[in-house]
Amino acid sequence: MKLVFAGTPEVAVPALDALIASGRHEVAAVVTRPDAPAGRGRRLVASPVAERAEEAGIEVLKPLKPRDPEFLERLKEIAPDCCPVVAYGALLPKVALDIPAHGWVNLHFSLLPAWRGAAPVQHAIMAGDEITGASTFLIEEGLDSGPVYGTVTEEVRSTDTSGDLLTRLAFAGAGLLAATMDGIEDGTLKAVPQPADGITVAPKITVEDAQVDWAAPALRVDRVVRGCTPAPGAWTTFRGERLKLIQVTPVPERTDLAPGRVAAGKNSVHVGTGSYAVELLWVQAQGKKPMRAADWARGVRIAESETLGG
């Protein structure tokens, strides 16, 4: 088939690579978000998908909005059979959805209908899911509600951050998306409507969502930290300033600390929760680089009665 691939961030690049490498389909063009300011100089930088497409000599389309008339006209000229999508980042209007004969097929990082929305991996970790995965589905106007072509499952490991899990799903999902294109082309794959039961939603995680509640159980604190790493970053406050929490681990044997109470030893920092303590392993103070929590604690000289989270 002739394909137009839509995607923007680094997590979409493995799928683009898989489609290019398959040799079975032609990736005629790539649709991605416009260049965005990045770095200290805030200069405009092309998306990872745009950079990969340019390396491969593929035409890159960067509409401000996918309903822009110039973009829609160019898409009609290319006349793709199908448009595979991974984390494009913009809502597709019906006029665009109707152009390819086989529609737009999205690779979504959950087992639909679980975790429809912008942050499925983060929510899966924060909810304590043991199994997650990726799904390919035909995009319709509802939120991730279209019929599903295929799925692949992935175990959620006890130490996974959302970054770790998303990286594995990006590669597993790339193979699924390529196989979905093959099945659509040869007519062996039909999309199946999603069940009405088991629908959960995964809205974007805000900075407020990423604030740790020390009155919550230790397992919840651990899941929030892992689910919000690397973005938007779990945090608490210490002496009125924000402290980013990069890695913690539950310590079930320590139950003597009140929620938020800090106990700094020579080589460890424990904090009380609503159940038992967690050990802070890596933190980042405002204006500082990430550091081991024990080094941070020595630097700030934590008093015996101090707490995190105010």
Binding-site residues for (6S)-5,6,7,8-tetrahydrofolate = 110-113
Alpha-carbon torsion, ordered 27, 81, 110, 205, to 10 deg: 70
Around 62, how many Cα atoms within 13 Å sit in the side-chain half-sphere?
16
Cα separation, 189 vs 87, in Å, equals 23
The Cα-based distances of 39 to 8, 46, 251 in angstroms read 17, 12, 38
Structural contact between residues 237 and 243, judged by C-beta atoms closer than 8 angstroms: yes
Report how many helices (DSSP H) and strands (DSSP E) the chain contains, helices first: 8, 15
Of 92, 140, 88, 81, give the one whose Cα is nearest residue 112: 140
Find the helix or strand (DSSP H, E) in which 247 lies. strand 241-251
Q: Is 291 helix (H, G, I), strand (E, B) or coil?
A: strand
Residue type, 78: I
Residue 218 pairs in a beta bridge with none
Cα separation, 85 vs 260, in Å, equals 43
Annotated binding site: 110-113
Residue 96 pairs in a beta bridge with none
